[in-house]
Amino acid sequence: MSKIASVFSQPGHKALIAYVTVGYPSVEATLKVVPLLADSGCDIVELGIPFSDPLADGVTIQKSSFHALQNGVTPRLCLELAGQLSQKVDIPLVFMTYYNPVFSYGLDKFCSACAGSGISGIIIPDLPPDEGSDLEAISQRQGLDLIYLLAPTSTGERIRLAAQRSRGFIYLVSVTGVTGARERVPADLEAFVTRVRKAAAQPLCVGFGISTPEQASQIARIADGVIVGSRIIQLMEKEDDFASLAELVRGLRGSIDKISGQ
């Protein structure tokens, strides 16, 4: 069982997954915030490798990626920081990035470096499951979970492929669009989750637009995990001690645990 799969093996437990852009607002902030997220109740942390053309991301994460790139953050530095963080936290760390940086680094070299840095999985929004066989084979050899995404517009064939090939969990995009905090959970989300559930045995985690404990509670009723990103980035901009961020994560954890009876 992979380290990511073990998160979902706890009976009734719903996962809380956080996203941070590596190097935003600073490298020091990343090294401080990831342990804080783990201590506050997160089960998995996604480490975003900044990229110049983040097509799936909204304004908040685009801005953070641009700032991180200006700070000189590279895939190599992200790997170095992941190595440091993996010594500080026991929860799985997952890289979220785009295919171009991985391809440019070299698939074999990147996956080997990920494994050596304590990374448990990889999420690549612009890599569809019908084009991921090379990276799948390499990542599996290194003990990494390659996690695919599905959107409400995904066809039955795309859902079937992701169900066959995604490892760790399947990332369900709650809306047709980009990342970013939103006021409400889409009305048709439950139907989308149900449609994927019929084809997939993997845990289903929902992201894009979740920013409050109330929304997290709604998601936890229908999915196996809740993913929060943009709201975390926004709070990281406001305080050096990240007190509001810790309060948010504890609130998210509490609302999710109420649903699962923990």
In the numeric block, which tokens belong to residue 71? 């700070």
Of the candidates 167, 224, 244, 235, the one whose C-alpha atom is nearest the C-alpha of residue 17 is 224
Give the CA count within 13 Å in the CB-facing half-sphere of 191.
Answer: 7
Alpha-carbon Rg for the chain, nearest whole angstrom, is 17
Residue 194, domain extent: 13-256
233 within a domain of the structure (yes/no): yes
Q: Look at residue 2 and tell me if it is in a domain.
A: no
Which residues does the chain have with pLDDT short of 70? 56, 175-187, 261-262
Residue 7 lies in a domain: no
Under a CB-based contact definition with an 8 Å cutoff, are residues 228 and 17 in contact?
yes
Nearest-CA neighbor of 14 among 261, 256, 200? 256
Please name the residues in contact with 1: beta carbons below 8 A apart, sequence gap of 6 or more. Answer: 9
Q: What is the pLDDT of residue 253?
A: 97
pLDDT tens column, 185-227: 666 899 999 999 999 999 999 998 898 999 999 999 999 999 9
The one-letter code for the residue type at 230 is S
| Verdict on whether the full-model pTM lies above 0.85 | yes
Evaluate whether 145 touches 115 at the Cβ level (below 8 Å). no
| Per-residue model confidence as pLDDT tens digits over 230-261 | 999 999 988 889 999 999 999 999 999 998 76
Q: How far is CA 255 from the centre of its chain?
A: 19
- Determine, yes or no, domain membership for 129: yes
Residue 39 belongs to a domain = yes
8 within domain boundaries: no
Predicted pLDDT at 55 = 72
C-alpha–C-alpha distance, residues 40 and 34, integer Å: 10
Total of domains in the chain: 1
Helix (H) or strand (E) holding 37: helix 27-40
Q: How far apart are the first and last CA of the chain?
A: 23
Grouping H, G, I as helix, E, B as strand and the rest as coil, residue 78 is: helix
* Percent of the chain as helix, strand, coil, to the nearest 5: 50, 15, 35
CATH number of the structural domain spanning residue 177: 3.20.20.70
Q: Quick check: is 3 in a domain? A: no
pLDDT of res. 53: 78
Instruction: Give the largest Cα separation in the chain, rounded.
Output: 46
- Do the domain assignments include residue 156? yes
Edge-first strand listing for the sheet containing 170-173: 145-147, 119-123, 93-96, 44-48, 15-21, 225-228, 204-207, 170-173, 149-150
CA-nearest of 174, 256, 185, 184 to 208 is 174
pLDDT for 87 equals: 98
Q: Can you give the length of the chain in residues?
A: 262
Mean pLDDT, the chain, integer: 92
Q: Which residues are catalytic?
A: 46, 57
23, β-bridge pairs: none
On whether the CB atoms of residues 215 and 95 are closer than 8 A, the answer is no
Residue 232 CA to residue 61 CA, distance in Å, equals 10
